[in-house]
C-alpha cells in the first residue's frame, strides 16, 4: 500500500516581516501617545491596543495555518487548519478524475488560501493552497471541482497512479 503524506505551512520570510512590522505600528503609537500626553483621555491608546490585539490575532492565525494532505487506499484526505477541525475525505468512489497540474493561484483563484471566487468558482471550483503553483486537481462525480496545493507533485503523482485502475475512472 502506497501512501502520500504532506504538510504545508507558511514559511515565506517576507510574510512574517510584514506581519511583525504591522504589529510594531500600534506599539509605536501607544508609546508615542504615552510619551506626548496623558491628558487626552487615551483614545489613541485604546484604539492602538485594539489594533495591536487584532494584529496579534491575525499573525497567530497565519502562523497556525497548515494544509495536510494524505492519499491512500480510502481516497484523498485533507485538512486546512485551523479552518477544518477534522480531515475532509474524498473517497475513491466519489472521484471521477484526478491529476496533478500546474495552476496560477492569482489568475485562477484570486490568491492562496481557501479560495472560490464568484463566477470562477463554478468553473474552477474551490482551491485549498498555501503556496506554490502545483496542485492535485479532483473532479468529483457530483461535478464539484477541488484543487489541493502540493509541494511534492512527483510523489503525489506516483501514489495516484497506484490507485488509478483500482478506484478512479481516469487519472491524467
Residue 18 reports pLDDT greater than 90: no
Burial of 104 (0-12, 13-18, 19+ CB in 10 A): exposed
- Residues 7/167, Cβ–Cβ less than 8 Å: no
Query: Each residue of 47-75: pLDDT tens digit?
Result: 667 777 787 787 778 788 899 999 999 99
| 3-state SS string for the chain | CCCEEEEEECCCHHHHHHHHHHHHHHHHHHHHHHHHCCCCCCHHHHHHHHHHHHHHHHHHHHHHCEEEEEECCCEEEEEEECCCCCCEEEEHHHEEEEEEEECCHHHHHCCCEEECCHHHHHHHCEEEECCCCEEEEEEECCCCEEEEECCCHHHHHHHHHHHHHHHCCEEC
Q: pLDDT at position 145, please? A: 94
Q: Give the global pTM.
A: 0.74
Give me Rg for the CA atoms of the chain.
Answer: 21
- Residues 89/75, Cβ–Cβ less than 8 Å: yes
Percent of the chain whose predicted confidence (pLDDT) is above 70 = 75
Could you give the angle at the alpha carbon of 86 between the alpha carbons of 84 and 90, nearest 5°? Answer: 95
Percent of the chain whose predicted confidence (pLDDT) is above 90 = 42
Beta bridge partners of 171: 98
Query: Each residue of 71-98: pLDDT tens digit?
Result: 999 999 999 988 888 889 999 999 999 9
Amino acid at each position: 500500500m502506497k501512501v502520500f503524506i504532506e504538510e504545508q505551512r507558511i514559511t515565506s520570510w517576507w510574510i512574517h516581516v510584514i506581519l511583525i512590522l504591522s504589529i510594531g505600528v500600534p506599539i509605536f503609537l501607544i508609546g508615542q501617545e504615552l510619551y506626548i500626553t496623558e491628558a487626552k483621555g487615551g483614545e489613541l491608546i485604546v484604539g492602538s491596543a485594539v489594533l495591536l490585539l487584532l494584529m496579534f490575532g491575525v499573525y497567530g492565525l497565519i502562523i497556525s495555518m497548515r494544509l495536510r494532505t494524505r492519499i491512500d487506499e480510502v481516497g484523498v484526505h485533507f485538512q486546512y487548519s485551523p479552518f477544518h477541525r477534522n480531515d475532509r475525505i474524498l473517497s475513491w468512489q466519489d472521484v471521477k478524475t484526478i491529476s496533478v497540474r500546474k495552476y496560477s493561484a492569482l489568475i485562477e483563484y484570486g490568491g492562496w488560501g481557501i479560495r472560490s471566487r464568484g463566477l470562477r468558482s463554478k468553473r474552477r471550483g474551490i482551491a485549498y493552497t498555501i503556496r506554490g503553483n502545483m496542485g492535485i486537481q479532483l473532479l468529483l462525480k457530483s461535478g464539484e471541482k477541488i484543487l489541493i496545493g502540493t509541494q511534492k507533485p512527483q510523489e503525489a503523482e506516483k501514489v495516484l497512479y497506484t490507485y488509478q485502475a483500482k478506484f478512479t475512472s481516469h487519472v491524467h
